[in-house]
Amino acid sequence: TEGGDQSGEEPGRGESRAWRSGPFLRQEQSPVSQVEWPQEPRIMPGFPIRRVLVAGLLFSLLLGSSVLFVYIFRSCGPRPCRTQECWDLQAHYLASGNTSVAPCTDFFSFACGESKGTLSSFQALAEENKRRLQKILEEPGSRHLGSGEDKVFQFYSSCLDTDAIEAAGAAPLRQVIEALGGWRISGNWTSLDFNRTLSLLMSQYGYFPFFRAYLRPHPSLPHKPVIQIDQPEFDLPLKQEQEQKIYAQIVREYLAYLNRLGTLLGGDPAKVQELAFLSISMTSQLFQFLRPLEQRRAQGELFKLVTIDQLQEMAPAIDWLSCLQATFTPMSLSPSQHLVVHDLEYLKNMSQLVEEKLLKDRDFLQSHMILGLVGTLSPALDSKFQEARRLLIQKLRELTQRPPMPISPRWMKCVEETGAFFEPTLAGLFIHEAFSPETQRAAMELLTDIKDALITRLRSVPWMDEKTRKRAQDRVTQLQVKMGAPEWALKLSLDRQAYSDIQLGPSYLQSFLSCVRSLRARTVQSFLKSLPQHRWQVSTWGVNAYYSISDHVVVFPAGLLQPPFFHPGYPRAVNFGAAGSIMAHELLHIFYQLLLPGGCPACDTHVLQEALLCLRRHYESIPLPSGLSFNGSWTLLENAADIGGLAIALQAYNKRPLWNHGEAILPNLDLSPQQLFFRSYAQVMCRDPGTLEPQDPHSPPMLRVHGPFSNARDFARHFHCPRGALLNPSSRCRLW
């Protein structure tokens, strides 16, 4: 299934050689001229004319043959793509690559050498998609005045109106605090019932100080929607993940942040400091009750199904029925309503702590919850609050040795918030702008080729028994595919009643909170309707594809299928190397369970474990830049998907007519179609190695290139790598 090697030479050069090396006419005497004719007094004019005609005919045949040869060469060989999309892609590749590096020893630098210190390829694409949304939101011709869609543009404009936000200052937030009864750092405040305050925070402001509650499909079949109770999210990193000295510094930074928030709201400095200290102390106590996901999984306690009544008995400090009923209106809840609880032990301990605080200092709990709300709402306030938040995040990332967060421009923040609150409208507008029916058809054709290649490849997976192999092929055949956008986004509807519950103004914070309530109500309403086959977990303009185990569906959002990863007018090598490899990677997630210990009892476990061990050693043998490391066990499954994704995409690409008929290359890159395939794969992985997050299940970007390439014989063959070079090792692993 491998295609012939291509020199990468431009057709024009080959054409000139074809003319120079073509046969020439030999000037030999014809045998007819050697015959002695009788001497006649008359002239025979026909004879020389006949010779000229014969010679002319031969010349014409030779000329036609040469022209035909050149035509065939140019028609069947790769042609330079000279569309605007290809010129843009060529410029992108030239700007990011460093061709002075030998591709056989460091292809990551060859492809991404000039990308260091810049955004990753996925981040850059996500930013470009947001720029498209910005253009839509700021283009007057996009508006439909009088429709529900008009509120989308009004909200975005109010978010950009920083003059009005600065003029309002902290006043809108003070109004929120007063509506909640105030707090102890100010002179006037009213102590409210604990559960009443908690209910208001959850239902009116979307803030959950002690736990999270949300609607999701049930983890088990038949996946009906159910309220789920989970651990809370904290600004502070977990104590057990930090050294004692570092954690003390983290607490000091967070204490300074809370002090600054209280001071900005006009609080008495002494009272603010006392509240901030007590608040951090309580958060630290809650930390002690948290159990990591890995521990709960190992103990077989990922979730438990309990009724509201049962949860009330086990965690009595919270009025579960009233708080949940207020939050998930118009659902009708009863004490017998079932809930999915993800960490029951945490809820029991949290309830006991709250009861102790209610006995000793009831007023503190109200102030503690309001202080947390202030931190949550600070991004919707003026620049002083936003700067306090930014400084906290920057300090925490420095202390935890994570790269600094880039400062986003105001328009990008406004695009993100508008997209969160008005996703149905923005999804339709983005599809109309950036994902034409032609693009969707081309993407589906590419995925079909990838699926066919995977089904074929499964026939020769060495560790699968025949029954598992057949079941695996059936799983691929039965896979649901969601491409581009949810069905409702493909039918752009400008309903005049859309977002009728959103009240914009008079301040941006009030508009923001109205959108929070509207979004929650729409989410609940959508779950009360008949459950669709799959609820998308990413936005239409997002760049993350994923596979859902519970629904057996793979999702590729329109935001991912954009240049430089995909375009209908790109050379096939680019689309298969970039988007095709991503597709194959996601399809292999179907079989993750088989790779886990005990995941496939009928398989040849010895061969499988040998292949996985080989894979781990293979990655560990590849050198990394100084100071960069990775956990081979943590990244093993993603490494397996990277290696398999490249191999499957290459197999799908190689299934084509002889001589690369219809193939195209990028001009002035001096890369054959096969070389361009690998170059496009590597371009997807380009990112600054220093931006790798600690919990990222993927290997560092250099390994995501060198690992699969060094395991692919075709790479070494097409780049003419000498045996023993880094990317042409003496042995390779066979997993897929």
Q: What is the pLDDT of residues 78-123, one digit of tens each?
A: 889 999 999 999 999 999 999 899 999 999 999 998 766 567 899 9
pLDDT attached to residue 319: 97
**Could you check whether the bond before residue 222 is cis, i.e. omega within 30 degrees of 0?**
yes
Binned at pLDDT 50, 70 and 90, residue 141 comes out as low
Binned at pLDDT 50, 70 and 90, residue 514 comes out as very high
Binned at pLDDT 50, 70 and 90, residue 5 comes out as very low
Give the percent of the chain with pLDDT over 90: 62
DSSP letter (8 states) at residue 2: P
The verdict on residue 513 lying in a domain is no
Q: Which of 405, 433, 455 lies at the terminal end of a domain, its last residue?
A: 405
The single-letter code of the amino acid at 540 is T
In a shared domain, residues 56 and 187: no
The mean pLDDT of the chain is: 85
The verdict on residue 259 lying in a domain is yes
Distance, in Å, from the CA atom of 655 to the CA atom of 613, rounded to the nearest integer, reads 31
In a shared domain, residues 214 and 334: yes
pLDDT attached to residue 690: 60
Q: Which of 76, 95, 115 lies at the terminal end of a domain, its last residue?
A: 76
DSSP letter (8 states) at residue 192: P
DSSP letter (8 states) at residue 184: T
Average pLDDT over residues 370-392: 91
The answer on pLDDT for 66 being more than 60 is: no
Average pLDDT over residues 307-320: 97
In a shared domain, residues 53 and 163: no
The single-letter code of the amino acid at 101 is V
pLDDT attached to residue 114: 72
DSSP letter (8 states) at residue 700: P
In a shared domain, residues 71 and 189: no
pLDDT attached to residue 15: 38
pLDDT attached to residue 547: 96
Distance, in Å, from the CA atom of 507 to the CA atom of 549, rounded to the nearest integer, reads 43
Average pLDDT over residues 701-708: 95
The alpha carbon dihedral of 503, 505, 511, 514 has a sign of negative
pLDDT: which is higher, 556 or 403: 556
**Spatial contact of 399 and 388, defined as CB atoms under 8 Å apart:** no
pLDDT attached to residue 299: 75
pLDDT in tens, 436-480: 999 999 999 999 999 999 999 999 999 999 999 999 999 999 999
pLDDT attached to residue 54: 60
**Could you check whether the bond before residue 404 is cis, i.e. omega within 30 degrees of 0?**
no
Give the percent of the chain with pLDDT over 70: 83
| Three-point CA angle 494, 495, 500, nearest 5° | 125
Average pLDDT over residues 407-426: 93
Q: DSSP letters along 601-668, please?
A: TTS-HHHHHHHHHHHHHHHHTS---TT----TTTTHHHHHHHHHHHHHHHHHHH-S-GGGTT-EE-TT
Residue in this structure with the two tokens 């014409």, named with its chain if needed: 60
pLDDT in tens, 89-101: 999 999 999 989 9
CB burial of residue 649 (10 Å; 0-12, 13-18, 19+)? buried
Q: Kindly state the tokens that stand for 312.
A: 């009330």
- Residue 643's Cα: distance from chain center in Å? 19
The answer on pLDDT for 47 being more than 50 is: no
pLDDT: which is higher, 356 or 663: 356
Q: How many domains would you assign to the chain?
A: 2
Q: Kindly state the tokens that stand for 306.
A: 């309990």
Give which of 528, 546, 529 is closest to 537, Cα–Cα: 546
The whole domain housing 248 covers 153-405
The answer on pLDDT for 429 being more than 50 is: yes
pLDDT: which is higher, 490 or 401: 401
Distance (Å) of CA 599 to CA 176, 465, 553: 53, 13, 20
The verdict on residue 3 lying in a domain is yes
In a shared domain, residues 252 and 355: yes
The verdict on residue 724 lying in a domain is no
In a shared domain, residues 58 and 174: no
Binned at pLDDT 50, 70 and 90, residue 641 comes out as very high
Binned at pLDDT 50, 70 and 90, residue 40 comes out as very low
pLDDT: which is higher, 67 or 294: 294
Distance, in Å, from the CA atom of 164 to the CA atom of 167, rounded to the nearest integer, reads 5
CATH of the domain at 209: 1.10.1380.10
Angle of helix 605-620 relative to helix 636-654, nearest 10 degrees, comes to 100
The answer on pLDDT for 347 being more than 90 is: yes
pLDDT attached to residue 493: 52
Beta bridge partners of 484: 557
The single-letter code of the amino acid at 660 is N
In a shared domain, residues 214 and 302: yes
The verdict on residue 4 lying in a domain is yes
Distance (Å) of CA 276 to CA 236, 270, 352: 13, 10, 22
In a shared domain, residues 311 and 198: yes
| Three-point CA angle 611, 624, 708, nearest 5° | 40
The verdict on residue 81 lying in a domain is no
In a shared domain, residues 209 and 303: yes
The answer on pLDDT for 384 being more than 50 is: yes
Q: How many CB atoms lie within 10 A of CB 651?
A: 22
Pairing of strands 225-230, 338-341: parallel
The answer on pLDDT for 629 being more than 60 is: yes
Average pLDDT over residues 580-602: 95
pLDDT: which is higher, 334 or 663: 334
User: In whole angstroms, how large is the CA radius of gyration of the chain?
Assistant: 33
Assign 355 to helix, strand or coil.
helix
Q: Which of 371, 405, 439 lies at the terminal end of a domain, its last residue?
A: 405
Distance, in Å, from the CA atom of 229 to the CA atom of 351, rounded to the nearest integer, reads 14
By annotation, the residues acting in catalysis are 586, 642
The answer on pLDDT for 302 being more than 90 is: no
Binned at pLDDT 50, 70 and 90, residue 210 comes out as very high
The verdict on residue 596 lying in a domain is no
pLDDT in tens, 439-449: 999 999 999 99
Q: DSSP letters along 397-452, please?
A: HHHTT-PPPP---HHHHHHHHHHHHSHHHHHHHHHHHH--HHHHHHHHHHHHHHHH
Assign 320 to helix, strand or coil.
helix
pLDDT: which is higher, 240 or 697: 697
Q: DSSP letters along 226-244, please?
A: EEEEE----SSPPGGGS-H
**Spatial contact of 316 and 355, defined as CB atoms under 8 Å apart:** yes
Binned at pLDDT 50, 70 and 90, residue 606 comes out as very high
Give which of 676, 165, 138, 100 is closest to 380, Cα–Cα: 165
Residue in this structure with the two tokens 């599809």, named with its chain if needed: 431
In a shared domain, residues 275 and 393: yes
Q: Kindly state the tokens that stand for 105.
A: 């020893």
pLDDT attached to residue 296: 79
Q: Kindly state the tokens that stand for 672.
A: 């054959």
Distance, in Å, from the CA atom of 466 to the CA atom of 593, rounded to the nearest integer, reads 17
The verdict on residue 301 lying in a domain is yes
The answer on pLDDT for 36 being more than 70 is: no
Q: How many CB atoms lie within 10 A of CB 76?
A: 15
Distance, in Å, from the CA atom of 661 to the CA atom of 361, rounded to the nearest integer, reads 79
